[in-house]
């Protein structure tokens, strides 16, 4: 009995030591993972600050490294290159835009009012989130490859797609080509936004913002009419 008790005590002592060693290792792993997340977050925060101060074109890995007070290789440990960082912001931008359009659409039950509302929501996003918008469309309109690889972009397009589709179903123009109409809608509103972002306000009785709203109202009125007639 005495021998058994001695062995038992030694076994539990050993088991506790193993458990403590395992817990310590687990704690080290968790701390390392937490530190990696913190560094990654600081990279993105600093990159975003640099973008707002200097613009997308002037962003560089060296500037980010200096901002977070780490060496350049540390940044490369988390992101392959600058484009990888921009991809994160690009996806965030489409997520924000998609959420804004969905929230706006949910406030209306009539498809025509939904389309009218998301048009203005899209417009407002472009100017409220100018840095995001300029990145999202910095290389032109996203193509089919982007739709396949960026789920946030696909989800955003789906909001427009389902809204336009419902307007067509509710109208009399049953021969309307949904894909063509969605592409036309996106192309035209993006074109209007791009022109407004580039062209400075002109002097006159009508302000730049008033003119933009008039053009936008004329566009969506004519577009909806073309969908239902």
Q: Is residue 129 located within the same domain as residue 217? A: yes
For residue 52, what is the domain's CATH number? 1.10.10.60
Q: Is residue 70 located within the same domain as residue 90? A: no
Q: Is residue 122 located within the same domain as residue 24? A: no
Task: Report the C-alpha gap between 63 and 216 in whole angstroms.
Answer: 39
- Cα torsion 72, 76, 81, 84 to 10°: value is -130
For residues 101 and 161, the answer to whether their CB atoms sit within 8 Å is: no
From first to last of the 229 residues of the chain, give the pLDDT tens digit.
Answer: 454 454 454 544 545 554 555 555 557 778 888 888 899 999 999 999 998 888 888 889 999 999 999 999 999 999 999 889 988 998 999 999 999 999 999 999 999 999 999 999 999 999 899 889 988 887 444 544 555 567 888 899 999 999 999 999 998 888 889 999 999 999 999 988 888 877 665 656 667 777 888 888 999 999 999 898 8
Q: Is residue 138 located within the same domain as residue 91? A: yes
Q: Is residue 143 located within the same domain as residue 192? A: yes
pLDDT digit string (tens) for 86-125? 889 989 999 999 999 999 999 999 999 999 999 999 999 9
Would you state the pLDDT for residue 7?
45
Pull the structure tokens for residue 50: 């640099």
Would you state the pLDDT for residue 144?
47
Residue in the block written with tokens 């109208």: 171
Q: How many domains in the chain?
A: 2
Q: Is residue 73 located within the same domain as residue 99? A: no
């Amino acid at each position: 009995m005495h021998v058994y008790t001695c062995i038992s005590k030694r076994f539990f002592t050993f088991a506790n030591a193993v458990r403590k060693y395992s817990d310590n290792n687990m704690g080290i792993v968790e701390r390392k993972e937490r530190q990696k997340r913190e560094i990654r977050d600081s990279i993105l925060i600093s990159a975003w600050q640099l973008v707002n101060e200097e613009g997308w074109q002037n962003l560089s890995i060296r500037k980010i490294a200096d901002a977070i007070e780490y060496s350049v290789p540390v940044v490369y440990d988390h992101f392959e290159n600058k484009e990888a960082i921009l991809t994160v912001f690009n996806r965030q931008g489409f997520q924000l835009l998609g959420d804004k359009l969905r929230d706006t659409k949910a406030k209306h039950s009539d498809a025509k009012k939904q389309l009218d509302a998301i048009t203005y929501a899209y417009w407002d996003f472009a100017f409220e989130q100018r840095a995001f918008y300029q990145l999202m469309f910095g290389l032109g309109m996203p193509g089919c490859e982007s739709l396949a690889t960026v789920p946030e972009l696909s989800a955003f397009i789906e909001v427009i797609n389902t809204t336009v589709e419902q307007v067509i179903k509710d109208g009399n123009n049953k021969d309307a080509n949904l894909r063509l109409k969605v592409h036309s809608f996106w192309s035209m509103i993006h074109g209007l936004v791009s022109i407004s972002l580039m062209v400075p306000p002109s002097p006159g009785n009508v302000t730049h913002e008033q003119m933009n709203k008039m053009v936008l109202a004329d566009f969506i009125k004519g577009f909806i009419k073309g969908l239902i007639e």
